Amino acid sequence: KIEAGFFTVFNRQENILENYDHYEERKLSDMHRYFAAEDIRQQMALANNEVIYRVYKKTAPLIAGELEQAVTVINPGQVNGEFFMTKGHYHINEKCSEVFFTLKGEGLLLLQKGQETKWLEMKPDVITYIPAGWGHRTINTSLSEPFVFIAFWPANAGHNYQKSLDEPFGRRVFFYNGSYIVSKVL
Ligand code: S6P
Ligand code: ZN
């Protein structure tokens, strides 16, 4: 049973959402098809199959008119020079948009629609908007700090992860010269 009216608290010491219902955890082994690296098995061994990101959720009713929210914590790190990132997805209901509010760290929001790719920098207090119909992925571009943001989206959106494998994002983000480079996928 979902409470009618609730609050959550982001604990910025621990980087968790207090009183979450559940969290989803993505390790390197869950994500091997999303990174560019070919020697992913070797990388997995090297990196000890570490946690790339966690998504903390407090659920709302999954019906039109309601809003879902989640806090995403992407750890710092790279796979063969490619920064840790989310799988990225499209909303099944193409009329559903989304808003991100950045809580900690620094990163990028990568947006994809057909052949068109856009990216926006995220850092604390920056609010980014994902228009309906656009695929979205976030990337932690910090070398040392977790990248944390809260997302709000329509509860009837649904998530399509297969599409971000079938039609990969047009850019990938790599470590370069002490910072990051957004490189075109050929
Ligand atoms: C949900 C929203 C976020 C992501 C989260 C993880 O619509 O966009 O809460 O679920 O950032 O990314 P992904 O691509 O694994 O769902
Ligand atoms: Zn989404």
Beta strands in 131-170 (DSSP E): 135-140, 147-154, 159-160
| CB 78 within 8 Å of CB 175 | yes
- CATH level 3 topology of 9-184: Jelly Rolls (2.60.120)
169 ligand 1 Cβ < 6 A: no
C-alpha to C-alpha distance for 84 and 43, rounded to whole angstroms: 13
What pLDDT digit, counting tens, does each position of 22-81 carry?
999 999 989 989 999 877 777 777 778 999 999 999 999 999 999 999 999 999 999 999
Q: Please tell me the distance between residue 100's alpha carbon and the centre of ligand 1 in angstroms.
A: 10
**Residue to mutate (ligand 1; options 159, 161, 163, 164; most atoms within 8 A of CB):** 159
Supply the pLDDT for residue 61.
92
pTM, to two decimals: 0.96
Euclidean distance between CA atoms 58 and 122, whole angstroms: 23
CA-nearest of 42, 41, 159, 149 to 89 is 159
